[in-house]
Structure 1
Amino acid sequence: MSAIEEKRMYGDRREETVAYLATGQGVATVRVSGDQVGRFGLAHRADARDVTTVDGAVVVATDEAVLVGPEEFEPLEFGPAVAVGTDREGDVLAADESGRVARYRGDEWTDLGTVADVRAIADGFVAAADGVWRVDGDGLANAGLDAARDVAVADGVPLAATDDGLYRLGNGWLREREGAFRAVAAGGDHAHAATADALFERDGEGWGAVDLPIEEPVVGVDYGECVYAVTAGGTFLVEADPETTADGAGGWRSRSIGLPGVVALAVA
């Protein structure tokens, strides 16, 4: 049994939604029930640079190693990392400061290639300073664009946040919105993207600005029972459906967790 499979066993025991935040002080947990943001705290101290979840396992990129939790965070023998994510088969991908990208399958890492300045990994795509790259077998294939900051796949369609716009891959890359986008996320029928000043949500074929109760820059969005977001300054947000809230009103709720320097969010 691999280290990832062992951590999945722990994840299966949870009943509440748990969000994991990568921060300069460590891996923080935020426990959420419906629209209620409950207990939060540090699960592991480190300089955490990215975080992803894989069927209950929590994988973190830190300045010392790639770690896997959630009960005890243990190294996966990759070394210092700047980004973690998954491929389309659910295997873990990681990248280091040199741009090396590797896949963890079973108990082994396989190098896939090297790109310039990796910023994010998701669903078999890599966002880097020299564009978007796609995992192709045991290698990487250039998918175009420049200065990519983040990637996501919405209903099978890749999305990319770049320094000059938000793009969708169709017959080539099509720009959905102009601007310097820093984050993009997708899950089910949801898709969100953020600049330093605003959060946008895909509504049908277009993108509209989200009216948040705070003005801090959003750095991460993920999905579960509700839509979850976090700001760089450490404010956690929940957008709850009216049916999941006690007052039936729904909408965005926010709570400061007192941890600045947040860079990523993943929900188990």
Structure 2
Amino acid sequence: MSDDDISLTEKRVYAGGSDATTAAVASEVGLARVSISADIVGEFSLERRGPTTAVTAVDGRFAVGTSEDVFVDADDNLEGTGFGGAVALGNQDGLVASDGERIAHYDGSWQTLSELESVRSIDGGMAAADSGVHRLDGTHVGLDDVVDVSAAGTPLAATDDGLYYLANGWMRAVEGSFRTVASDGERAHAATQDTLYERDVDGTWHPVDLPVDGTVVDIAYDRGVYAVTVDGACLANAGDGWRHRSLGLTGVAGVALL
């Protein structure tokens, strides 16, 4: 059976052995949990039905954003936190969330860190918003109309007019309308609607030839590089090229790894 012939089932996730990576994929269908071993995308299950807007991993468990609340994984159950609807989640000394107008930190209760308009994403100690890149306390770091940001290593920002990196000010690395960017401090990827880019060791960016069409909406790192497309393809590259499987999801918003 090929990767694309597996249909979505509501059964427990295959553990895949001790070397397996567990991924959570947020989508308009619900939250899917996926087992990935190296570059083999294994079995998956629908853990929560209903639209999910964001997902992150904090202290060895997943947190999930919806239009009603932010839920955390506790003893295989998703428990509400009382935040309300969320558009972005992150991990900075614990769970961080935004409803698009404020950023707050969770430690048993929510503490507001800043008030910002049109927050779009959170990564580490940075947030992307209509007004630019900000620290979580609201301090403006530069740019405007930022779609996504990556804080690890050299900060990166995805905007409608290019992909930027922070040096002596923000410098444009690649022209184009970028939708997402990610880095683990060493590896880095970014995507427009049509193309995924990878940063070389010398700092240059080049397009990646993927085995599927579709817009890449999020990238994550473990032993390999993992990506998801808006129409539900899950891709993995452990060093020998990209493999993929369709998860049968629509409206994918993000991916997180344990």
The letter for the 2-side match of 1:132 is: V
Q: CA-to-partner distance for each residue in 1:150-179, whole Å, 9 max, x for gaps?
A: 111232x21111111111111111111111
2:54 counterpart of 1:54 = no
- Equivalent residue for 1:194, pick from 181, 184, 191: 191
Amino acid corresponding to residue 127 of structure 2 in structure 1: V
**Take 1:172 and 1:154, find their aligned partners in 2: how far apart are those partners?**
17
Cα deviations across residues 109-151 of structure 1 (Å, max 9, x unaligned)? 111121111110001101011111112xxx3201111111111
**Which residue in the other structure is 1:83 paired with?**
88
Q: Is the 8 A contact 2:19 2:37 kept in 1?
A: no
The percentage of aligned residue pairs carrying the same residue is 46
Q: How many angstroms apart in 1 are the aligned matches of 2:110 and 2:99? A: 13
CA distance in 2, matches of 1:83, 1:154: 17
In 1, are the aligned partners of 2:28 and 2:251 still within 8 Å (CA)?
A: yes
Deviates more, 1:193-202 or 1:50-59: 50-59
Secondary structure of the residue that 2:194 maps to in structure 1? coil
Equivalent residue, structure 2, for 1:256: 246
1:126–1:134 Cα contact (<8 Å) kept:
yes
Aligned to 2:134: 133
Distance 1:134 1:226, change over 3 A: same
Partner of 1:9: none
Q: Secondary structure at the match of 1:73?
A: strand
Name the residue aligned to 1:67: 71
Measure the CA separation in 2 of the matches of 1:215 and 1:76: 37
Asked whether the equivalents of residues 124 and 134 of structure 1 are also in contact (C-alpha less than 8 Å), the reply is: yes
Provide closer, same or farther for how the CA distance between residues 14 and 49 of structure 1 changes in structure 2, counting only shifts above 3 A: farther
TM-score computed with the length of structure 2 as normaliser: 0.89
Q: RMSD across aligned C-alpha pairs, in angstroms?
A: 1.5
Q: Aligned residues, how many?
A: 240
In the alignment, does 2:236 pair up with 1:232? Answer: no
**How many angstroms apart in 2 are the aligned matches of 1:253 and 1:24?**
24
Give how far 1:44 is off.
Answer: 1.1
Aligned mates of 1:222, 1:229 — CA distance in 2: 6
Partners in 1 of 2:40 and 2:180 — Cα distance? 25
Unaligned runs of 5+ in 1: 1-12, 242-249
Match of 2:26 among 22, 25, 28: 22
Mapped to 1, the partners of 2:133 and 2:18 lie a distance apart of 35
Contact 1:46 1:63 in 2 (8 A): no
How far off its partner does 1:103 sit?
A: 1.0
C-alpha distance after superposition, 1:78-99 (max 9, x if no partner): 1111111022xx22111114x1
CA distance in structure 2 between the aligned counterparts of 1:93 and 1:193, rounded to whole angstroms? 23
CA distance in 2, matches of 1:56, 1:14: 15
The residue number in structure 2 matching 1:170 is: 167
SS at match of 1:154: coil
Q: Secondary structure at the match of 2:110?
A: strand
| CA drift at 1:233 | 0.5
TM-score, scaled to structure 1: 0.86
**Gap regions ≥5 residues in structure 2:** 1-16
- Runs of 4+ with >3 A deviation: none
- C-alpha change, 1:69 and 1:14, in structure 2 (3 Å) is farther
Q: C-alpha deviations, 1:247-267, integer Å up to 9, x for none?
A: xxx110011111111011111
- 1:175-208, Cα deviation, whole Å (9 max, x unpaired): 1111110100111421000000100000021111
Q: Is the 8 A contact 1:154 1:191 kept in 2?
A: no
